[in-house]
Amino acid sequence: MRMPLLDTPLPPGDALASDSVARVALQTRRPQDFELLLQGGFLVICESGCSVREFLCMQMGVCGDYTQIRIQTIFLNGKPVDDLDTAIVNPDDHLAFSAAMPGVVGATMRRGGYYAPMREGISLNAPDDVETTSGPECFVHVRLFNFLARELASTFLRRGLFVRGERFLEFLHNRQPAFYEGIGRASCNEKDMPPTALAERLAALPAMDAVFVQICEELADVASAPAVQQ
């Protein structure tokens, strides 16, 4: 599976070594400040052939009650998912996760909900006897909606994620000074710099198509969001 964000696609194992991918490492007090970036979508590397439950728990580290209770709506390639164990994740798939959404539409899209039969025609229908496999690494598109983007920001950013370069630059340009004050240290391609200089450094990279963003350390902050119970 090749990386879809690049003009010259790369397999997952080569992405971080490419000049087309800038590597950004951060220390931050507030991972939740990146929620808009996560709502807009990003790429992660995972093993293909896993179920949605395995993707969340075994590969992303989102397990237990949080998956069962907090994640109320899941879409796989635009189709609502009810059974996390039979929905299989394949290369270049699109996954979207949401907490409970309001209104009749939200209730209808909720997995396993009372109104779920109303959307039977658009729901993901996977065979009950499907078997998961441990396939080669691949890229998967992910979007986190509403509260999940804030609550799971730390989880996904610690693992690391890919975003298109121009979108990450736009994100940085639109941040207020408080955002940069929450970052203790920043580096680009292993070169340390003040957080406020990060956008300028990225813009100066002529071959940069995508950015790999990763939190290398979370700093204590009394104003941080509550930890996710997993």
The pLDDT score that the predictor gives to residue 227 is 45
In the chain the domains, ranked by start, together with CATH numbers, are 16-44+146-219 (no CATH), 49-135 (3.10.20)
The pLDDT score that the predictor gives to residue 152 is 97
Average pLDDT per consecutive 10 residues, the chain (230 residues; last block may be shorter): 62 87 94 96 95 95 90 90 90 92 61 60 61 83 95 96 96 96 94 96 92 83 45
The pLDDT score that the predictor gives to residue 115 is 53
The pLDDT score that the predictor gives to residue 224 is 42
The pLDDT score that the predictor gives to residue 3 is 62
Structure-block tokens of residue 129: 């006897």
The pLDDT score that the predictor gives to residue 220 is 57
Question: Which residues are bridge partners to 76 per DSSP?
Answer: 79, 95
Structure-block tokens of residue 159: 């693992």
Q: What are phi and psi of 216, to 5 degrees?
A: -90, -20
CA-based R_g, the chain, Å:
18
The pLDDT score that the predictor gives to residue 225 is 42
Q: Show the beta-strand stretches assigned E in the chain.
A: 21-28, 42-47, 50-51, 73-76, 79-80, 88-89, 94-98, 137-144, 161-164, 183-188, 191-193, 210-218
In whole angstroms, give the CA distance from residue 10 to residue 153.
26
